[in-house]
Structure 1
């Protein structure tokens, strides 16, 4: 992998954008390598949590400007294929069986902000900024819009998407775009401690099933959602994790996940 770094430590897979000279801007190659890295982490039984971050001064500054210039010469079919490439990455992260945490410092803009948005948890340093700036260059925040509406609701999404305004980490936290803010020098340890707590106290199976259900039930009718939920409830009861967990609870034993 040439545009990102991948490593595993303490059951955490670290996927790090590594184009600091380009402020980790999204290129076709970077999106491809991100898809590959997330697939690798999802299929690795030694990995329980995934942390996404960026090297250099920015988390991700959005699309690569040089690549955007190339897109101007593309046909509609070529642009649609390229757009679908990014859509597949966002959907992959959103539906991934494992928990994904975005560790954001510096700017997270346009597609870079979208990348953070689709993660399950977002923790940012005080110097982080967020913005869907596409409207300022005549573009549209099309793909991330689908996820952002789910995450923060229409009114707040409209304010961000239609104005293209940059907001601070504190402002992002106030509207539930992110989960918490930490001092820059403490962000890495904050994320590690949060991830470690999930690893040691929660069942992987339960978290994975819950995440998949959250993604699916919102698109179902009430009756269909409840039927699906009942099916998953019954399925979970038969799982090894559930049987182990209930046994440990009844016997007042500490369980190690």
Structure 2
């Protein structure tokens, strides 16, 4: 993870598997291995970790969008790279900052809104990206599957995020049978927020991202950090912790500006 004294930079780096774009306060990370169905290989893993650490570090970045090129959002882990087959991609000079399983942790501890823009199928380990984002919107033709059981594998790492967004019975059936789930069913079971007509997906995600980016950024980070901290706590000890967070929030510059703007009947100006 990013250290307090560390300063990450994109200058001079060649990303072989991702496209990065910053527009205003929104940072878009686009998976860019369409010929390989955007499967996550070691290069993509390293680049994702670096991009997420950079997004966490940069104060001007308030929202992250995870998108993908091609017809498939992501096919999960790259079985070719797992078998030892060499990558044919252009060289990447992005420093390695962890392993593939660290991607889930980076997403959960980013403490900024992360929107998964799902334009196509999501398979296997790609569910890590969806389950650990704060928001997920899918095109109507997209579908989701955890087919590992059909290959004699169990989606162990997926479970940590999956059962925090889906109920246990639906989640277990999903991974035990390995069958496809439609986008509509995924929305009904809590895996995604909403199904969006394919031709409206870009505009819908852009609007949500801009709405989130217009809100108090430091309060958003404080609130998301508290959300993750209390998630696995017992109710009684969670309350005093959350009370302290509220007191901290009320003393913050964001709260002072928000209250002042409300009283003055103007739009808040977040630093």
What is the correspondence of 1:1-257 to structure 2 with a 5 Å cutoff? 1-70=15-84, 85-200=99-214, 202-257=215-270
Secondary structure of 2:60's match? coil
Give every structure 1 segment of 4 or more consecutive aligned residues whose post-TM-superposition deviation is greater than 3 Å: none
1:51-83 per-position Cα deviation (integer Å, ceiling 9, x unaligned) = 001111110011112123239xxxxxxxxxxxx
1:152-182 per-position Cα deviation (integer Å, ceiling 9, x unaligned) = 2211211111111111111111111101111
- TM-score w.r.t. length of structure 1: 0.91
Q: How far does residue 189 in structure 1 lie from its aligned partner after superposition? A: 1.0
Q: How far does residue 114 in structure 1 lie from its aligned partner after superposition? A: 2.1
1:93-137 per-position Cα deviation (integer Å, ceiling 9, x unaligned) = 011121110000111100112211111100111121111111111
Q: How far does residue 251 in structure 1 lie from its aligned partner after superposition? A: 2.9
Secondary structure of 1:70's match? coil
Check whether the contact 2:113–2:212 (CA below 8 A) recurs between aligned residues.
no
Q: Once superposed, what is the RMSD of the aligned Cα atoms?
A: 1.5
Secondary structure of 2:101's match? helix
Distance 2:191 2:103 in 1: 19
Task: Give the structure 1 partner of residue 12 of structure 2.
Answer: none
More helix by share: 1
Aligned residues: 244
Distance 2:77 2:213 in 1: 33
Distance 1:33 1:18 in 2: 11
Distance 1:61 1:204 in 2: 33
Task: Give the structure 1 partner of residue 11 of structure 2.
Answer: none
Note the residue ranges of structure 1 that are not aligned, 5 or more in a row: 72-83
Note the residue ranges of structure 2 that are not aligned, 5 or more in a row: 1-14, 86-97
